[in-house]
Amino acid sequence: MHNLKRAAVSIASLAVAACGMLAVVSPASAEPSAAASRSCSYHEFQGSGGHWGEDVTCTGGWFKGTILCHRFDNGFEYWHYGPVSGSGGTSTVYCDLGAYISFKTYTPV
């Protein structure tokens, strides 16, 4: 019985230590500072086919243009993503025909 209690205490100690290590090495903790140093500009345009598009240009890391599209006919909203681009590059993203851009941003990659 004494060995069973000792094993339970050891397992509990390892679990607590492992959780602490995961919190220390979490990669998500580095992302906010990287995203904070990114600078982006946006240019909305209407393409030749009538589609609304956005040119997203960022410096400070890899990214992709991200827009929230809103359909004229039924109000449905959906996200579209442009191609991945490096620092200083441009990611161009379009809504489907019959929709406009209701929000624009970027997604770090």
pLDDT in tens, 77-88: 999 999 999 999
Distance CA 35, CA 55 (A): 19
Q: Note the pTM of the prediction, 2 decimals.
A: 0.67
Q: Which residue has the higher pLDDT, 1 or 58?
A: 58
Token representation of residue 15: 């679990």
The CA-CA-CA angle for residues 9, 10, 13, to 5°, reads 85
pLDDT class for 37, splitting at 50, 70, 90?
confident
As assigned by CATH, the class of the 39-109 domain is mainly beta
